């Protein structure tokens, strides 16, 4: 896959970090069939490329991270109801078998189908102006796919409030932080730099340990406790010998660390 062939996003690999920038600011970075196809390719590329340890997803423009599907262009859904699949699945890394950690850095409006990315992100940070909402019901459309994914991240009452109020209310970045949806709120001009710093710190750790951690934790959400622990044990057997061989324990810092949150 040629990263330079992309049309709806900008993608660059540097220092083991794949940075993807949604690049349709004139259309609020809404997704199209072309973007769906490019994300399928990007997740396949990230999964197959050992040089990629972490993925950062961000968006160009000031008004929106993404407002979901491009309502002007629409997106393909098969006529045959038995052939239909969730169009947003193409946007989601875990749906596409990519277990490299995903950091989402969001600003402005984060609406509807944008939740496909956030629902499968490992870390979400937001600028102070970020606003989260789901407009589906305001347009007479059932809000189901995105809110169900969201219900696996935040309290169901918060999901229902967002889904049922539609365009009448937006969740602030501060509220999203309070309920654990985003892990950090920063000034707009610090957003991309902060995401890059987090990615740099994760990318510096053994990739096998990081990837196994992501997969074990996410897969545990789909199974019972005993099954999840048994699967997790198998991942430690697979990943630990690889990861430990890549670490000089005497060089691991033990005193330089950052406190997150208020003192």
Q: Is 102 helix (H, G, I), strand (E, B) or coil?
A: strand
Q: Note the pLDDT tens digit of each residue in 130-170.
A: 999 999 999 999 999 999 999 999 999 999 999 999 999 99
With cut-offs at 50, 70 and 90, classify the pLDDT of residue 261.
confident
142 half-sphere exposure, CB direction, 13 A CA radius = 3
Q: What is the pLDDT, as a whole number, of residue 228?
A: 86
Q: Looking up tokens 């959400």, which residue turns up?
A: 221
Rounded Cα gap, residues 53 and 118, in angstroms: 19
With cut-offs at 50, 70 and 90, classify the pLDDT of residue 179.
very high
Q: What is the pLDDT, as a whole number, of residue 73?
A: 76
CB 103 within 8 A of CB 56: yes
Question: For residue 105, which of 178, 46, 159, 183 has the smallest C-alpha distance?
Answer: 183
Is it the case that residue 263 has pLDDT exceeding 90? no
Is it the case that residue 221 has pLDDT exceeding 80? yes
Q: What is the pLDDT, as a whole number, of residue 249?
A: 79
Q: Looking up tokens 């994300």, which residue turns up?
A: 39
| The CATH number, out of the four listed (3.40.50.1100, 3.40.50.720, 3.90.226.10, 3.40.50.300), of the domain defined by the range 3-203 | 3.90.226.10
Q: What is the pLDDT, as a whole number, of residue 260?
A: 80
DSSP conformation letters of 73-139: T-----SSTTT---GGGGG-TGGGT--S-EEEEE-BEEEGGGHHHHHT-SEEEEETT-EEE--GGGG
CB 127 within 8 A of CB 185: yes
Average pLDDT, the chain: 93
Across 114-118, average pLDDT: 97
Is it the case that residue 115 has pLDDT exceeding 80? yes
Is it the case that residue 77 has pLDDT exceeding 90? no
CB 46 within 8 A of CB 101: no
Across 28-49, average pLDDT: 96
Residue 103 tokens read as 């950091």
114 vs 259: which has the higher pLDDT: 114
Q: What is the pLDDT, as a whole number, of residue 203?
A: 97
4 vs 167: which has the higher pLDDT: 167
With cut-offs at 50, 70 and 90, classify the pLDDT of residue 2.
low
pTM score, two decimals?
0.93
């Amino acid at each position: 896959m040629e990263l330079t062939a992309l049309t709806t996003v900008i993608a660059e690999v540097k220092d083991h970090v794949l940075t993807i920038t949604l690049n349709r600011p004139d259309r609020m970075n809404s997704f199209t069939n072309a973007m769906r196809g490019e994300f399928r390719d990007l997740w396949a590329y990230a999964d197959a490329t050992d040089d990629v340890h972490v993925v950062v997803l961000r968006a160009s423009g000031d008004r929106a991270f993404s407002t979901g599907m491009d309502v002007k262009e629409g997106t393909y859904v098969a006529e045959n109801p038995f052939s239909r699949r969730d169009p947003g699945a193409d946007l989601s890394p875990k749906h596409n078998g990519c277990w490299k950690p995903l950091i989402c850095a969001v600003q402005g409006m984060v609406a509807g189908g944008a939740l496909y990315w956030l629902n499968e992100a490992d870390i979400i940070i937001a600028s102070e102006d970020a606003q989260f909402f789901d407009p589906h019901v305001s347009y007479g459309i059932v809000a189901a796919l995105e809110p169900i994914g969201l219900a696996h991240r935040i309290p169901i009452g918060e999901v229902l409030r967002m889904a049922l109020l539609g365009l009448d209310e937006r969740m602030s970045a501060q509220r999203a932080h309070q309920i654990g949806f985003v892990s950090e709120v920063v000034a707009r001009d610090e957003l991309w730099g902060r995401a890059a710093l987090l990615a740099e710190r994760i990318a510096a750790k053994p990739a096998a340990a990081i990837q196994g951690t992501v997969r074990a934790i996410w897969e545990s959400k789909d199974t019972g406790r005993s099954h999840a622990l048994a699967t997790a044990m198998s991942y430690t057997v697979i990943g630990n010998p690889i990861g430990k061989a890549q670490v000089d324990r005497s060089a691991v810092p033990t005193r330089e660390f950052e406190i997150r949150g208020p003192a």
